Amino acid sequence: MIYLPHRAILSLTGPDTLVLLERLVTNATDDWDEGTTRYGALLTPQGKVLSDYLALRIADGVLLDVSAEHVDDLAKRLKMFRLRSKVEITRLGNLAIIASIEDAPNPMPKLSDASHIYLDPRYLGGRIRGIIAIEDVDQNHSIDAYHVDRVANGIPEQGFDYGAVEVFPADINMDVLGGVALKKGCFVGQEVVSRMHRRGQIRKRTLLFSTGADTAIETGAELLAPAPVGSVSSHAGGHGLARVRVDRLMKAETAGATVTLNETPVTITKPDWLVREQDAMKQT
């Protein structure tokens, strides 16, 4: 289990916790069993991601696993929306997050030092996370291994692949990773998000790529075919994630153009959901 110093815990407790979240955030809050995790975000009214998180349902509320860089702003905004709701919102600075880099076993194991164990549902095989006291943190494991696993599985993360108010949920694949409940009631930014999906106007996606060679990958570098089709958002272990204009990628593929990075050909992994989206775009 690897200590994640770039993550923090925000606690929301009280009888109105789920009611407050239901009208604000992208994930559904109904039929939510204690001990289960949901991926979601708070958006701007214009539909941009302010902060995303993993939300763990606990007996008296929810614990949010959030980017440490953005947790205080998220707390501030949730408190602004709270009004008279009976919800206590507190950053738990005495706790730390640890994570596995292997597929989660079934049943979930027990961690003696962890107050909570939960599943990161963004990964196909799941990844176990735990919450422990900061003084119990084992810092012997390199954080690099976490990012190698994250990038190889195509999981973008706030603070590395994007900041606040930089991307729409679809740009970072939140909809296909289960982070957006399009059929729930209103949430902040829902109109924009729903319209993009309804009209098929998803122009950007975050995609995994590899060079197949010992090529230096730099964040911000452009993928060319020969015109720009996207830019690198993060990289680790010889793989990278790039925010790609899918319409430009389709044109390049139709023209038989090779996508390159620093004049080196790259291979872009196209998940089944992207293939279906592209087929639908061809028919419109």
Are 117 and 214 within one domain?
no
- pLDDT tens profile 27-81: 999 999 999 999 999 999 999 999 999 999 999 999 999 999 999 999 999 999 9
**So what's the pLDDT on residue 271?**
94
Q: Are residues 54 and 151 in the same domain?
A: yes
Shared domain for 137 and 65, answered yes or no, is yes
Are both 221 and 278 inside the same structural domain? yes
Of 136, 156, 176, at which residue does a domain stop? 156
SS3 annotation, the chain: CEECCCEEEEEEECCCHHHHHHCCCCCCCCCCCCCCEEEEEEECCCCCEEEEEEEEEECCEEEEEEECCCHHHHHHHHHHHHCCCCCEEEECCCEEEEECCCCCCCCCCCCCCEEEEEEECCCCCCEEEEEEEHHHCCCCCCHHHHHHHHHHCCCCCECCCECCCCCCHHHHCCCCCCCCCCCCCCCCCHHHHHHHHHCCCCCEEEEEEECCCCCCCCCCCEEECCCEEEEEEEEECCEEEEEEEHHHHHHHHHHCCCCEECCEECEECCCHHHHHHHHHHHCC
| Domain contains 136 | yes
Name the residue range of residue 93's domain.
2-156
pLDDT value at residue 278: 86
Give 10-residue mean pLDDT values along the chain (284 residues).
96 97 96 96 97 98 98 98 95 96 90 92 96 89 92 97 97 96 90 87 93 84 96 94 96 95 94 90 75
Per-residue pLDDT, 40: 98
Would you state the pLDDT for residue 140? 76
Last residue of a domain, one of 125, 156, 187: 156
Tell whether 151 and 216 lie within a shared domain. Answer: no
- List, for residues 9-29, the tens digit of each pLDDT value: 999 999 999 999 999 999 999
Both 107 and 215 in one domain: the answer is: no
Number of domains in the chain: 2
**51 shares its domain with 147:** yes
Decide which of 101, 136, 156 is a domain's last residue: 156
